[in-house]
Copies of this chain bind each other. A is one copy, B any other.
Amino acid sequence: MNRFGIAAEPIDIAPLRARLLHERAGAFAAFEGWVRNHNDGRPVDGLRYEAYVALAEAEGERIVLEALEKFGALDACCVHRVGDLPIGELAVWVGVSAAHRDAAFDTCRWIIDEVKSRVPIWKHERYTDGRSDWLHPRQTHPTDSGG
């Protein structure tokens, strides 16, 4: 299995985490993006993610491999949901195992940042006032979207 995947069904975390267990690993860091009930001050009902799957998987895979090279972690993987997601649903999961916690945290943070800025996935938010919007941020800042 590859280190990055697009999932059309709810993400099952346990087997993803289990893949990263390693006798040389002393540290594991994970990040989860959940669907929040608000964004930029607007109450959100739920959302839909859409991906250009072939390119998303290729670019996601590149990100994870670049991260492992850059920070020297032992292993990492990332899965991103597509489809309709209710509030509270898991949208993206990143897990990293490393000998030490510096590499685990840095790799995990770098992967989610790069996934948010480079992988062709789009969020369509439904607001409680009945309107909805595709989110096309000009640039992704750490605090302006999702998590």
Contact = CB atoms under 8 A, between A and B. Distances in A.
A98 B86 CA distance: 18
Contacts of A99: 36, 147
B33 A26 contact: yes
Interface stretch (A1-9, A17-25, A58-66, A128-136): A17-25
A102 B143 contact: yes
Nearest to A109: B105
B102 A142 contact: yes
Interface residues of A, number: 34
A147 B105 contact: no
Interface string A50-63: 00000000000000
B147 A26 contact: yes
A127 interface: no
Contact of A31 (B21, B24, B105): B105
A10 interface: no
A104 interface: yes
Smallest CB-CB A-B distances: 10 pairs: A27-B147, A26-B147, A26-B36, A28-B32, A23-B37, A30-B30, A101-B147, A100-B143, A102-B142, A26-B146
